[in-house]
C-alpha cells in the first residue's frame, strides 16, 4: 500500500491537480453553509431535521438534502420537484451571509499550491459544495486565485460524476484526453470516487478522518496534511 511519505509515488508528476474543498483545503469555522441547509429544508420542504442525522462528510449538497428529506419521509417526487428551489435557497442564504464565513486554511495548503503553480500545473476543484458556496469559501480563505475552474454538485449529485466532469474539464483545458490528473481529498468517499474514475488519489488527514481509515481505502499516498507533500 502506497501510504507513507517515503513511497515511490511521484506526487508532483501530474499535469493537473483537482482538490476537494472541505477538510482538504480548509475547514469552516462558522455556520454559514450549515445554516443554509436548514433554511432550505425548512422553507422548501417544511423539514426541521438537522443534517448531522445523515452522512455529511464526503457527501454532496443535493445528496445531503435528499437523505434528510427521505429520513423525514418526504415523497421522492416532492423532493425532486422542490430540489431546484432548495438549492437556490441555499445559494442565496450562503451568499447573503458570506461575510460571516471564517474558513481555516489547512496546514501546508498555501505552500503546496504555490509549489504547484510555480511548476505551471493546472489546478481545479472537485467538491460536493454548490458552486456559489464553494467559491465563496475559497474567496473568504484567500485561495480563489489559485484555481482555474471547479466541478461542483449543482448538476451532479454523485461524487463520482463530479470527479469525472472535473477530469474531463482539466483534460479539455490541457488540450489532451490523455493529460494526467490527480485527485487530492480527505475522506474515504474521495478515494473511492477517484478509484471509480481510474484516477490516482492523495489523501490528507486534515478533515474528520484520521490516517487509518483513509489508508484502509488504499490511496496512492496518505499524509497527515498537504504540507507533507513538500517533504516527499
Predicted model pTM: 0.94
Cell of 161: 460524476
Residues 6+ apart with CB under 8 A from 80: none
What's the mean pLDDT when you consider all of the chain? 95
- Check pLDDT > 90 for residue 222: yes
| Domain 16-28+103-231: homologous superfamily in CATH | HAD superfamily/HAD-like (3.40.50.1000)
pLDDT of residue 2: 37
Distance, first Cα to last Cα, the chain: 16
Look at residues 200, 222, 213 and name the one whose alpha carbon lies nearest to residue 57: 213
Domain boundaries, the chain: 16-28+103-231, 32-100
Residues 6+ apart with CB under 8 A from 98: 32, 136, 139, 140
- Check pLDDT > 70 for residue 35: yes
For 82-138, write each residue's pLDDT tens digit. Answer: 999 999 999 999 999 999 999 999 999 999 999 999 999 999 999 999 999 999 999
Q: What is the mean pLDDT of residues 155-179?
A: 97
pLDDT of residue 8: 77
Q: How confident is the model at residue 3 (pLDDT cuts 50, 70, 90)?
A: very low
- Check pLDDT > 60 for residue 5: no
The answer to whether the beta carbons of residues 214 and 205 sit under 8 Å apart is: yes
Angle at 6 between CA 159 and CA 107, to 5 degrees: 55
Amino acid at each position: 500500500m502506497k501510504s507513507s511519505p517515503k513511497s515511490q509515488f511521484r506526487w508532483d508528476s501530474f499535469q493537473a491537480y483537482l482538490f476537494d474543498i472541505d477538510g482538504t483545503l480548509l475547514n469552516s469555522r462558522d455556520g454559514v453553509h450549515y445554516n443554509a441547509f436548514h433554511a432550505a429544508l425548512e422553507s422548501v420542504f417544511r423539514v426541521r431535521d438537522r443534517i448531522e442525522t445523515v452522512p455529511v462528510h464526503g457527501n454532496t449538497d443535493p445528496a445531503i438534502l435528499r437523505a434528510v428529506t427521505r429520513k423525514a419521509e418526504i415523497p421522492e417526487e416532492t423532493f425532486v420537484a422542490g430540489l431546484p428551489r432548495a438549492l437556490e435557497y441555499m445559494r442565496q442564504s450562503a451568499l447573503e451571509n458570506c461575510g460571516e464565513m471564517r474558513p481555516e486554511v489547512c496546514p501546508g495548503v498555501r505552500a503546496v499550491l504555490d509549489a504547484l503553480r510555480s511548476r505551471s500545473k493546472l489546478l481545479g476543484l472537485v467538491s460536493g459544495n454548490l458552486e456559489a458556496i464553494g467559491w465563496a469559501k475559497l474567496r473568504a480563505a484567500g485561495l480563489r486565485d489559485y484555481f482555474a475552474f471547479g466541478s461542483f454538485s449543482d448538476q451532479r449529485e454523485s461524487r463520482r460524476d463530479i470527479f469525472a466532469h472535473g477530469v474531463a474539464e482539466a483534460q479539455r483545458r490541457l488540450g489532451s484526453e490523455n493529460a494526467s490528473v490527480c485527485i487530492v481529498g480527505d475522506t474515504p468517499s474521495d478515494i473511492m470516487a477517484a478509484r471509480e474514475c481510474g484516477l490516482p488519489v492523495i489523501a490528507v488527514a486534515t478533515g474528520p478522518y484520521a490516517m487509518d481509515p483513509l489508508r484502509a481505502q488504499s490511496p496512492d499516498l496518505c499524509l497527515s496534511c498537504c504540507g507533507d507533500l513538500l517533504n516527499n
